[in-house]
Structures are given as C-alpha cells and as structure tokens.
Structure 1
Amino acid sequence: MVAIHLTSSFLLIRHFIPFMKKKGWGRIVNISSINGLIAMPGKAPYCFMKHALIGLTKAVALETAENGITCNAVCPAYVETELVMKQIRDRANQNNISYEEMRVAALVGFLCSDEAGSVTGCAIPVDAGYTAR
C-alpha cells in the first residue's frame, strides 16, 4: 500500500522536479482521496496513505513555489472504474447532479494549465459536497 499510494508519487516527483526547475515551469497533480481529508471506519491504512500524500503535496508546493512549479492534490470521492461506475451514478442521482459533475478530469486539466499558476498546495475535494458536512 505504501509503494502504490505514496512511494510512487514521491519517486515521480523527485525525478521530474529537476527538469521542471530547469524549464522554470511545472505542474504536479497528485490523486489523493476524500479519505485524505476525512477518515472512515475500517480504512485506517488507506486513510493514512492518502493523508500522507496530501502532506507530500503541500511540502512540494512550498519547496518549488519559487521555480514556477505548482503541486496540488485532487481528492475524489470515487475514481471512475468499472468497479464503482454504479456507485458514481447513484451518488450523482442522490445529489441531483450529472454524472459528468462527479468526474475529476476537468479539474486536473485546469490545474495543469497556465491559468492555475497561483493555485498550489491545495487538496481539492471532488465529492459533491460530502466533506462539507
């Protein structure tokens, strides 16, 4: 679990930061989870990994801010896979929003754009307001 959820992100970031610094520009977007913002029973190891990923995101954001590099984390309630497709549709219906609004791709695209140059160190939930409760 550590290798998949944390070490892989750390190693990729460590590898690409020198290239981004040389260019004077870069965008790093980590995919965390709402479980990086809130805990749920029975998910302690997963919550721990996702909280740690958000900590890594914030530290990298501070360490690279002067180099034109941003680092943010997207925290979806669900990731669109066959396993959770029905859950995504059910949650969208419960919240009276479209299926497309439950997706994270548009947010990641924005965070990778020039327009998001001052957005860094953020952990942004994409959860139809679930963590606002």
Structure 2
Amino acid sequence: MRVIIQRSGKASVTVGGKVTGAIDSGYVLLVGLTHSDTVGDVRYVANKVANLRLFEDADGKMNLSILDAGGAILSVSQFTLYADTARGRRPGFSEAARPEQARQLYEHFNEELRKLGLHVETGIFGAMMDVSLTNEGPVTVIVESKK
C-alpha cells in the first residue's frame, strides 16, 4: 500500500461537475493499493497517517499529528501510484490491485481512519476525478506498508 500525504489548507474532489468531498485544514491522501496488500497493511498505514506529526506546534516545529491539530482527510483512490515506468513510454499498471480488491481495501482504509477519530471525505472510487488543493508548506510525505 502506498499513500501520498499532502498537508492542505483547503481541498476538494469533483466528479462530473459535482463536489463529492471537501475539507478545510488537513490531509489530501492519494491512496494506491497493490495486489499483495492485506487488511494488516491497511491498518498499519491508517495508524501511521493518523499519528505522523506533520503539523506545527506553537514553536513552529512539526510536532502535532492530524488528530492533535483537529484536521480532516480527503481520501482519493489512485491506482496510478503503482505505475511501472521502467520500459517504454506508456506506464504499466500490473502492480496495481484489481478494482474489486482495491475498492474493498480502500473502503476499509477510510473506515480505519474514521475509527481513529478522523473526519474522512472521499472521491468516487474508479471515477475520473478533479482534485483541487492548497498544499501547505508545502508538506508532502509518502507512506508505504512494505518498507
């Protein structure tokens, strides 16, 4: 499992001209799943995302988690995080989980975040989405379950 975290001041996802999810301060998560991912990977990454200290404290140091800062999450499924660009000019996506498996794990991931006390908004799994965000900092971090 691979998640790109972008700390955001404001973000939204639109599908077909309709906003399906929007947050103010928090994280935009681009969520990629591979065929070998399990519920254990999902739990590990959800816990890591919730507890990483990427928000500044009163001294300007990144010492606060999203839970501490009271932020929300905009979670967007993105199979292209497992693109293989090693050969040719067109990426291959054979490492990405099949849609049936990915949808189930993605939904479980969002539920795990909610169980940890986070407000989670989403796009629509498998849809063509327009994601808009203001990346604060900028702060962008990659979390992987296999490392």
Task: Compute the TM-score of the two structures, normalised by the length of structure 1.
Answer: 0.36
Higher helix share: 1
Task: Compute the TM-score of the two structures, normalised by the length of structure 2.
Answer: 0.34
Higher strand share: 2
Report which structure shows greater RCO (CA 8 Å, sep ≥6).
Answer: 2
